[in-house]
Amino acid sequence: MTVFAFDRGDGENPLGQLSAEDVARLPFGAAELSADGRVLAYNDTEPDHLGGQRQTIIGRDFFTDAAQRATSV
């Protein structure tokens, strides 16, 4: 198993080294957040329970919007 550990000052952040296409192919969910918790980028690994009607979470607060949606579907 590969474990990724991240730190704000980590210049070798492994996800930061991947292209958007590589991040999209990860077998687990990944999100890049701003310092205030807003979603800057993410890959969508969750099943589509809305029939293709997904809404973007870019710019939304991860902890109040995105994470809440993931647990309510």
The pTM of this model reads 0.59
Report domain extents, the chain: 15-72
Give me the amino acid identity at 54: R
The values of phi and psi at residue 34, to 5°, are -75, 175
Give me the average pLDDT of each 10-residue run along the chain (73 residues).
58 72 82 83 68 71 75 52
Q: How far apart are CA 32 and CA 40, in angstroms?
A: 5
CB distance 43 to 26 below 8 Å: yes
pLDDT of residue 21: 84
CB-based contacts of 58, cutoff 8 Å, min separation 6: 39, 40, 41, 42
Q: Which CATH architecture has domain 15-72?
A: 2-Layer Sandwich (3.30)
Q: How far apart are CA 72 and CA 21, in angstroms?
A: 28
